[in-house]
Amino acid sequence: MTDPDLAVPEERSDSLSEERADPVSEERADSGTAVIEFMFASIVLLIPVVYLMLAISQLQAASYATTSTAISASRIAARDADPSERRAHQVADMHFTDFGLTGVPITIDYSCSGPCGQAGSLITARVETKVSLPGFPLLFGTKHSPHITLRASHTDVVATAGGD
C-alpha cells in the first residue's frame, strides 16, 4: 500500500517548459506601446508647456510695450507745454503694434511735481493695460475674458519753459 501523500513526485520536465513564457511572444505583446506612451506623454506634458511659453511671451511683450509707452509718454509731456493725450495714444498704439498686441485697452495718466510745463519740474506718465491670456477671449469673449493688468510709470524732467 502506498500512501498518496508520501508518494515521490514525478519529474515534471514538460510541465516546467510549458510554464516558462516564450520570450518571442512577450516581445510581441509589448510591441507598439512605446508609440502610445510617447503620444500620451506628448499630450499631457507638451501642450501645457507650449501654452505656458505662449502666455509668458505675450505677457513679456505687453510688459515691454507698456514700459516703452510710459517712457515715450513722459518724454512727450516733458517736451511739450501742453501734452497731447492723442499723441501719447498714437505712440502707445505704435509700441503695442510693434510687439504684436492690437486692440489692447491702454490708459495714460500724467502727474506733475510743481507746475506742469515749468522748466525743472518733474512729470510722471503712468500707463496701464489689460492683457488677456492666449485662447481666453475665444472662450469667454473679449469683454469677459480674464486678464492680467500691467502698469508702468516713468518720470522725466521738463527741460525748457512751455512758452519758450
DSSP track, 100-160: T--S--EEEEEEEESSTTSTT-EEEEEEEEEEEPTTHHHHH-TTT--EEEEEEEEEEE--S
Give 108-150 pLDDT, tens digit per residue. 999 888 887 788 889 899 999 998 888 877 777 777 778 899 9
Q: Where are the domains of the chain?
A: 36-158
Cell 521738463 belongs to residue: 158
**162 vs 139, more confident:** 139
For the whole model, what pTM was predicted?
Answer: 0.69
Q: Given a cut of 70, is residue 10 above it in pLDDT? A: no
Over residues 94-101, the mean pLDDT reads 92
On average, the pLDDT of the chain sits at: 80
Q: Could you count the other beta carbons within 10 Å of the beta carbon of residue 156?
A: 18
Q: Which three cell numbers stand for residue 2?
A: 502506498
Residue type, 125: A
Angle between helix axes 85-98 and 47-79 (nearest 10 degrees) is 150
